[in-house]
Amino acid sequence: MDEEKRITLRLPADLHEWLTAQAKSARRSLNSEIVYRLEVERDAAAADAESP
């Protein structure tokens, strides 16, 4: 990640709690967990776009 952008993100409380638990389980910060999950999804979408 060359450049970072700061955003304000509103999440439903239950999604926030779930993401927090997932981050703790993976020993990541909440921010890192969100970035990780978005990158995984982006890579999967790119792979799907490349396959016939």
Residues 30 and 20 sit within 8 Å (Cβ to Cβ)? yes
pLDDT of residue 4: 93
pLDDT of residue 44: 95
Percent share of the chain, pLDDT over 70: 98
3-class secondary structure per residue, the chain? CCCCCCCCCCCCHHHHHHHHHHHHHCCCCHHHHHHHHHHHHHHHHHHHHHCC
